[in-house]
């Protein structure tokens, strides 16, 4: 460190302070006439000059050390001074330097710990929100940004969570109340159920005084609802075929036990009813599996053209039985979609099976796959932010009255119950289609004209980078 001269006023003040006892002694000697004033003045001059000569280098060292310590306090990495005198000063500088190195080491450890905690906060799987007074959001983690679709730091929590119970709990905890827990539902884009836990924190450097943690319990609630639905629907739909089977079994065990003709006829009916029960159970299990994962969109990239071609090939025998033809119109420019291949295959097959089942014998079923143009139908308007793909299946059946269209995708809803059961329908095919579409964040549009037929069109978002 550069050594600078000691300011004259500091040297003078220090010298006067050090020589004050000598000056007082000389004044007393002059007062008792033991020493003449001139001799006393000369003696004080010698004492003052000697004192100044002795303390000047030490004051320089102290001044240099003071400047170095101020630099350290301001965060400046300055070189320590090199004193010319006094081992005490040298030891003091060495101690301060050691203290500085220790402080820097601790500061580095604290910085690493802070970065680790920041990373931990960001990587936790549940959405977390730090709040200050007035519900002002000071920070959110990555899971919260994904759940809300944006970073809301610096804004009111009500920007993304408008549930009164959650906001009231946040206000109460921020106001000093103990932690609170609230269950609520977010209806869009797909209904999800959360438990919100709000806890009080000590005041943070950014003003944060409370934390909001969201725990997604959608899967738990879906399992509970599916269990209830399964019991209710299965008991209702399985009762008729099961009663038929039991009735014929009792008949075969009794009066018809020796009647070969009746036995063959009853066994045929029993096989038909057993097959119907198997189809129903398979559809119920399939629907339950899709509903369980509906809140979690698939991320694989799927070529819908390949899936449509395979589904058409698989449905050819069913169409041939009714002398129907399957016509494919696939646009080669159709982009891929983010999806789950097995579910999309089931979607296309269900639409084809529905068209073959309710189309007129000997008529064609048209399958069209194309990039979706704009403007899209109202039901698919949310897809306008990016490219979309449309796949439609058109039949030439009797058509569906318009008042039935909104309910077609409900479980077990049938326009003509007797005809549907005669044709082997379970009442779940379009419900499965709807939930697959929901999981893929798409839209289903149904258009039908009485006497001319129906068109079922599914719109799906194009994969990122493949938008048209």
Mean pLDDT of 51-77: 66
Domain final residue, candidates 88, 110, 132: 110
CA separation for the pair 57, 276 (Å, rounded): 108
pLDDT of residue 11: 55
Q: Report pLDDT for 292.
A: 78
CATH at residue 150? 3.30.450.20
Q: What percent of the chain has pLDDT over 90?
A: 26
Q: What are the pLDDT digits (tens) for 175-196?
A: 889 999 999 887 766 678 899 9
Looking at the fold, whether 425 and 329 belong to one and the same domain comes out as yes
- State how many domains the chain has: 4
pLDDT 10s digits, 105-137? 777 887 787 788 777 888 888 899 999 989 999
Residue 118: inside a domain, yes or no?
Answer: no
Mark whether 367 and 433 lie in a shared domain: yes
User: Is the residue at 370 inside a domain?
Assistant: yes
Q: Does one domain contain both 148 and 92?
A: no
Residue 173 clears pLDDT 70, i.e. is over it: yes
Residue 369 near residue 334 (C-beta atoms within 8 A): yes
Q: Looking at the predicted structure, is the pLDDT value of residue 60 above 90?
A: no
pLDDT tens string 195-205? 999 999 877 76
339 & 453 share domain: yes
Give the pLDDT band of residue 418 (cuts 50, 70, 90). Answer: low
Instruction: Indicate the DSSP class of residue 156.
Output: B
Using alpha carbons, select from 36, 40, 108, 96 the residue that is nearest to residue 64: 96
Residue 199 falls inside a structural domain:
yes
Q: What is the pLDDT of residue 36?
A: 77
CATH code for the domain of 260: 1.10.287.130
Check whether residue 284 and residue 313 sit in a common domain. Answer: no
Task: Please give the pLDDT value at position 86.
Answer: 54
* 13-27, 206-220, 350-364, 377-391, range with the lowest pLDDT: 13-27
**Would 3 be classed as within a structural domain?**
no
**Mean pLDDT for the stretch of residues 318-342:** 91
Among candidate residues 159, 192, 216, the one where a domain is terminated: 216
Residues 199, 265 within the same domain: no
Looking at the fold, whether 46 and 161 belong to one and the same domain comes out as no
Domain that holds residue 252: 218-296
Q: Do 276 and 320 fall within a single domain?
A: no
pLDDT given for residue 437 in this prediction: 92
117 inside domain: no
pLDDT of the residue at 101: 73
In a domain, 116, yes or no: no
Residue that is last in its domain, among 110, 140, 174:
110
Q: Name the β-bridge partners of 130.
A: 139, 211
Query: What confidence score (pLDDT) does residue 1 get?
Result: 41
Same structural domain for residues 137 and 147?
yes
Place of tokens 């303390």: 55
Q: Do residues 307 and 420 both lie within one domain?
A: yes
In a domain, 1, yes or no: no
The token duo for 95 is: 């101690």
Q: Are residues 137 and 106 part of one domain? A: no
User: Which region among 215-219, 249-253, 317-321 has the lowest average model confidence (pLDDT)?
Assistant: 249-253
- The model carries a pTM of 0.50
- Decide if 156 contacts 136 (C-beta within 8 A): yes
């Amino acid at each position: 460190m550069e050594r600078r001269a000691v300011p004259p006023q500091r040297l003078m003040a220090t010298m006067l302070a050090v020589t004050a006892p000598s000056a007082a002694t000389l004044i007393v000697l002059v007062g008792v006439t033991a020493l003449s004033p001139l001799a006393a003045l000369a003696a004080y001059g010698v004492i003052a000059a000697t004192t100044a000569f002795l303390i000047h280098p030490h004051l320089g060292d102290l001044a240099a050390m003071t400047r170095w310590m101020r630099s350290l306090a301001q965060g400046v990495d300055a070189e320590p001074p090199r004193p010319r005198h006094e081992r005490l000063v040298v030891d003091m500088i060495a101690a301060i330097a050691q203290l500085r190195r220790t402080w820097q080491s601790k500061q580095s450890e604290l910085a690493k710990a802070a970065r680790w905690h920041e990373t931990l906060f960001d990587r936790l799987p549940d959405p977390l929100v730090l709040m200050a007074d007035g519900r002002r959001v000071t920070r959110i983690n990555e899971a919260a940004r994904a759940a809300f679709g944006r970073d809301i730091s610096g804004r009111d929590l009500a920007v993304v969570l408008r549930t009164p119970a959650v906001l009231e709990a946040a206000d109460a905890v921020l106001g000093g109340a103990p932690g609170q827990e609230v269950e609520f539902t977010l209806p869009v884009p797909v209904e999800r159920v959360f438990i919100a836990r709000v806890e009080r924190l000590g005041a943070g450097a950014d003003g944060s005084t409370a934390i909001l943690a969201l725990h997604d319990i959608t899967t738990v609630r879906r399992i509970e609802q599916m269990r209830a639905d399964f019991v209710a629907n299965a008991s209702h739909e399985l009762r008729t075929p099961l009663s038929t089977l039991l009735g014929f079994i009792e008949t075969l065990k009794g009066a018809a036990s020796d009647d070969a003709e009746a036995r063959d006829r009853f066994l045929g009916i029993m096989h038909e009813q057993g097959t119907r029960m198997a189809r129903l159970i398979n559809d119920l299990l399939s629907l339950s599996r899709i509903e369980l994962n509906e809140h979690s969109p698939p991320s694989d990239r799927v070529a819908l053209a390949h899936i449509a071609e395979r589904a058409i090939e698989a449905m050819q025998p069913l169409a041939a039985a009714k002398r129907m033809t399957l016509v494919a119109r696939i646009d080669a420019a159709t982009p891929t979609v983010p999806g789950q291949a097995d579910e999309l295959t089931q979607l296309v097959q269900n639409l084809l099976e529905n068209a073959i089942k309710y189309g007129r014998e000997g008529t064609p079923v048209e399958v069209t796959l194309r990039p979706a143009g704009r403007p899209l139908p109202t039901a698919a308007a949310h897809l306008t932010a990016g490219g979309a793909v449309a796949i439609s299946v058109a039949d030439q059946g009797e058509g569906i009255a318009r008042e039935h269209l909104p309910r077609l995708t409900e479980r077990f809803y049938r326009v003509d119950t007797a005809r549907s059961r005669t044709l082997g329908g379970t009442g779940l095919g379009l419900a499965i289609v709807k939930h697959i579409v929901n999981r893929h964040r798409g839209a289903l549009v149904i258009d039908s004209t009485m006497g001319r037929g129906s068109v079922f069109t599914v719109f799906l978002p194009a994969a990122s980078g493949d938008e048209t």
